Amino acid sequence: MVPVGRVYLACRYLFNEYPLSVSAFDHVPSLHTMVLMLRDGEDVRFFALMRIRGNGRTDYTLSAWRAQGAVEIAADGGEVPEAVANVIEQGIPIPRDGLLFGWAYQEIVTALIMVYASYRPDSPLPAWSVMPLVGTAESQWPPFSIERYFGRWFWKDYQAGNIVQFDGLIAANPGVVFWLGTCQAPGSDCCVVASDIKTSEGRILRRGTYLDAAALRAGAAVPSLTKLLAAAGKTDLASRFQVPA
């Protein structure tokens, strides 16, 4: 067993330092969650860490991914199992579901990164997709394009400015960035950009098709951008990222 005080402080650190991993639970203002990934070699497990605020105090609970039952982590508690402490102290926060990031090679974005952190029948575990810009040299792709598992490399590159969040830019430019879900190659994530747009820091999201790295490596046939932009069923991502008034 481990003293709860140390684990409690670690929980508070996670919520303070990784705001991009925090999401409201069922739109309840006092409940927030984040997903943690714990890796031991090829063994990867996911957990849900919840922050509960109310009555002048903050408590936490930890549960295995989509499992019943949770371990309480309260400031005035006694001890928690060592396995719980290990998850909190060694687990890697996953960005919240639906966030879209870009990989910046110098000032040009050469790949988009989509994060899935909610349960879906077709994606029962948290996942992420790296989608390089079609036609871009592989040497300009993110170095983690071949990584099977999420890692701390993501947060290191984010802090270094190599990974850029694009939600705000896309929300401010409706009719430019579209999600297709699949692009000819079954199961391959695909995003199309109708025209160049630029962040305030000068990072350029270029016009073109962004396709799952595995599909590109497999030589998937990619329809023309014109055809994809004319396709039915695409989703304008601006509406997804716009904050309600």
pLDDT for residue 27 is more than 90 = no
Q: Mean of the pLDDT values across residues 173-179?
A: 96
Q: What is the CA radius of gyration of the chain?
A: 20
Q: What is the pLDDT of residue 187?
A: 54
Question: CA-to-CA distance for 193 and 105, rounded, in angstroms?
Answer: 17
pLDDT for residue 158 is more than 90 = yes
Percent of the chain at pLDDT above 70? 96
Q: Mean of the pLDDT values across residues 84-93?
A: 97
Q: What is the pLDDT of residue 74?
A: 94
pLDDT for residue 151 is more than 70 = yes
Q: What is the pLDDT of residue 131?
A: 95
SS3 112: strand
Task: State the DSSP H helix or E strand holding residue 209, giving kind and residue range, or none if neither.
Answer: strand 208-211
Q: What is the pLDDT of residue 245?
A: 46
Q: How confident is the model at residue 183 (pLDDT cuts 50, 70, 90)?
A: low
Q: How confident is the model at residue 123 (pLDDT cuts 50, 70, 90)?
A: confident
pLDDT for residue 84 is more than 60 = yes
Query: pLDDT digit string (tens) for 211-222?
Result: 999 999 999 888
Q: What is the pLDDT of residue 146?
A: 86
Mean confidence (pLDDT) of the chain: 92
Report CA-CA distances (Å) from 87 to 63, 78, 139: 10, 18, 35
Question: CA-to-CA distance for 151 and 144, rounded, in angstroms?
Answer: 9
Q: Which long-range contacts (CB under 8 A, 24 or more apart) does 187-194 make?
A: 187/212, 188/212, 188/214, 188/215, 188/220, 189/114, 189/129, 189/131, 190/131, 190/228, 191/100, 191/112, 191/114, 191/131, 191/237, 192/225, 192/228, 192/229, 192/234, 194/229
Query: pLDDT digit string (tens) for 38-72?
Result: 998 889 999 999 999 998 899 999 999 999 999 99
Q: How confident is the model at residue 182 (pLDDT cuts 50, 70, 90)?
A: low
Question: CA-to-CA distance for 243 and 168, rounded, in angstroms?
Answer: 9
SS3 204: strand
Percent of the chain at pLDDT above 90? 74
* CA 67 to mean position of chain CA atoms: 21
In order, the DSSP letters of 27-59 are TEEEEEEEEEEEEETTEEEEEEEEEEEETTEEE
Q: What is the pLDDT of residue 186?
A: 46
Q: What is the pLDDT of residue 144?
A: 93
